[in-house]
Amino acid sequence: MPAGIIKPTRADHLLMSERVVMSRLAVVFGGSRGIGRAVSQLLAQRGHRVVVLSRNKNAAQATTESLPGEKHLALSCDVSKEDDVQRAFETISKTCGTVGYLVNAAGINRDALLLRSKSEDMMSVLHTNLLGSMLTCRGALRSMLSHGGAIVNIGSVVGVKGNSGQCVYSASKAGLEGFTRSLAKEVSSRNIRVNLVAPGFVRTDMTTGLEKEEAVRRIPLGRFGEPAEVAQAVLFLLESPYITGQVLLVDGGLQLAL
């Protein structure tokens, strides 16, 4: 073995083989519905304490009440508003402690050809999907700096490949990719990892009415994905101690067809 490389001990192998998981505080923005809700469920099943946030507090509360385990917390927060995000992290640090995992699943689309797009819709998409994740990452980092942590942002296959009728949405997700890679470099020395999951079509409120034959035919695996299938990839990245700055497509192969 070359000098300077630390060989894993028997105890390390044991830990890895038994997949011993330390319980952490996981914060999921956009956790009330769709992909974020599935992520919250998987994290709670793994024994983590989950804070679920969305604009609609009742919906966030309904998610926490459906989770296994106790002490989960529901908060109302609009990620596009700096004050809201700051207040949320103040509440989390006072009532729950140090953040271990952050998942940014809050997102919206206002799809239209660019010529027909309204400026206010463009701003909403950029402020929610891109600025929102920047604000939440900044909020979580303050808590993670001393203990390390892991962040997963939810991008999109159209951020990687582009799509007609989704210029602004695609720009918000492509921006999130650059942000993810840069932040991964910025905080790696503090043992904080930052990755991005880029889903294709997933069956949620966001894609209601889109599951038509023509759309499904373009997907090599021949179907829309389920939120739980994206959540699996999110959990994998959160728990993988040697992966950072990566973009993982979870799209049934759609990227091959675009």
Binding site for ligand NDP (CB under 6 A): 29-30, 32-36, 54-56, 59, 77-80, 105-108, 128-129, 132, 154, 156, 199, 201-202, 204-207
Closest to ligand NDP by CB, 129 vs 195, is 129
Q: How far is the CB of 167 from ligand NDP (least distance, A)?
A: 15
Question: What DSSP assignment string belongs to 160-178?
Answer: HH--TT-HHHHHHHHHHHH
Closest to ligand NDP by CB, 143 vs 169, is 169
Q: How far is the CB of 42 from ligand NDP (least distance, A)?
A: 14
Q: How far is the CB of 115 from ligand NDP (least distance, A)?
A: 22
Closest to ligand NDP by CB, 18 vs 120, is 120
Has 101 been annotated as catalytic? no
Asked if residues 129 and 176 have their Cβ atoms less than 8 Å apart, the reply is yes
Catalytic pick from 29, 89, 101, 169?
169
Interacting residues of 209 by C-beta distance below 8 A, sequence separation 6+: none
Residue type, 234: V
Closest to ligand NDP by CB, 36 vs 139, is 36
Q: How far is the CB of 56 from ligand NDP (least distance, A)?
A: 3
Residue 135 in tokens? 């604000």
In this structure, how many other beta carbons lie within 10 angstroms of the beta carbon of residue 65? 10
Interacting residues of 194 by C-beta distance below 8 A, sequence separation 6+: 137, 150, 151, 152, 153, 180, 181, 183, 184, 187, 244, 245
Residue 109 in tokens? 């689309």
Q: How far is the CB of 69 from ligand NDP (least distance, A)?
A: 20
Asked if residues 89 and 13 have their Cβ atoms less than 8 Å apart, the reply is no
Coil, strand or helix at 192: strand
**Active-site annotation, residues:** 169
